[in-house]
Structure 1
Amino acid sequence: MTRTTTRKPNGGGDTVKYSIIVPTYNEQLNIAMLLALIVEAMEEGTKRKEGRKISPSSSTPSYEVIVVDDNSQDQTQQTIQKLQKIEKYRDVLRLKPRKGKLGLGSAYIHGLQFARGEFVILMDADLSHNPKAIPEFIRKQEEGDYDVVTGTRYLASSSSSLSISSRITNSSSSTKSSRKSKIKEQECGVYGWDTRRKLTSRVANYLAHVLLNPGVSDLTGSFRLYRKTTFQALVSSMQSVGYVFQMEIIVRAKRGGFKVAEVPISFVDRDTSKD
Structure 2
Amino acid sequence: MNPFESNAALSMQGSFSTPNTHKYSVILPTYNERKNLPVIIWLLNRVFTENELSWEIIVVDDNSPDGTQEVALQLAKVYGEDKIVLKPRAGKLGLGTAYIHGLNFVTGDFVIIMDADFSHHPKFIPQFIRLQQAHNLDIVTGTRYRSTASPPLSGTQPGGVHGWDLKRKIVSRGANFLADTVLNPGVSDLTGSFRLYKVAVLRHIITLTVSRGYVFQMEMMVRARALGYTVGEVPITFVDRLFGESKLGADEIVQYMKGVWSLFTGV
TM-score range relative to shorter protein: 0.7 to 0.9
> 2:210 aligned with 1:239, yes or no?
yes
CA distance in 1 between counterparts of 2:219 and 2:105 reads: 23
1:148 alignment partner in structure 2: 139
Amino acid at match of 2:128: F
> 2:259 aligned with 1:257, yes or no?
no
User: What is the DSSP-based 3-state SS (H/G/I as helix, E as strand, rest coil) of the residue aligned with 1:85?
Assistant: helix
Alignment of 1:59-98 (within 5 A): 61-86=53-78, 88-98=79-89
1:37 alignment partner in structure 2: 43
- Runs of 4+ displaced beyond 6 Å: none
Report if aligned partners of 2:143, 2:233 keep a CA contact under 8 Å in 1: yes
CA distance in 2 between counterparts of 1:202 and 1:122 reads: 22
Which of 195-204 and 119-128 deviates more? 195-204
Deviation per CA, 1:109-158, whole angstroms, max 9, x where unpaired?
10011111111000001111100111111111111000000000000117
Cα displacement (A) at 1:243: 1.4
CA distance in 1 between counterparts of 2:178 and 2:106 reads: 34
Alignment of 1:6-21 (within 5 A): 17-21=23-27
Cα displacement (A) at 1:62: 0.9
Unmatched runs of 5 consecutive residues or more in structure 2: 1-20, 248-267
> Kindly tell me: are residues 90 and 161 of structure 1, through their superposed partners in 2, closer, same or farther at Cα, counting changes over 3 Å?
farther
TM-score normalized by structure 1?
A: 0.78
Amino acid at match of 2:49: E
> 2:92 aligned with 1:127, yes or no?
no
CA distance in 2 between counterparts of 1:120 and 1:190 reads: 24
The sequence identity of aligned pairs, in percent, is 54
Report if aligned partners of 1:16, 1:64 keep a CA contact under 8 Å in 2: no
Report if aligned partners of 1:160, 1:264 keep a CA contact under 8 Å in 2: no
Deviation per CA, 1:19-48, whole angstroms, max 9, x where unpaired?
1000000000000000000011112223xx
1:12 alignment partner in structure 2: none
Deviation per CA, 1:186-221, whole angstroms, max 9, x where unpaired?
431011111121111111111101110000000000
2:187 alignment partner in structure 1: 216
User: What is the DSSP-based 3-state SS (H/G/I as helix, E as strand, rest coil) of the residue aligned with 2:189?
Assistant: coil
2:258 alignment partner in structure 1: none
CA distance in 1 between counterparts of 2:135 and 2:246 reads: 40
User: What is the DSSP-based 3-state SS (H/G/I as helix, E as strand, rest coil) of the residue aligned with 1:262?
Assistant: strand
CA distance in 2 between counterparts of 1:35 and 1:187 reads: 25
TM-score normalized by structure 2?
A: 0.80
Q: CA RMSD in A?
A: 1.7
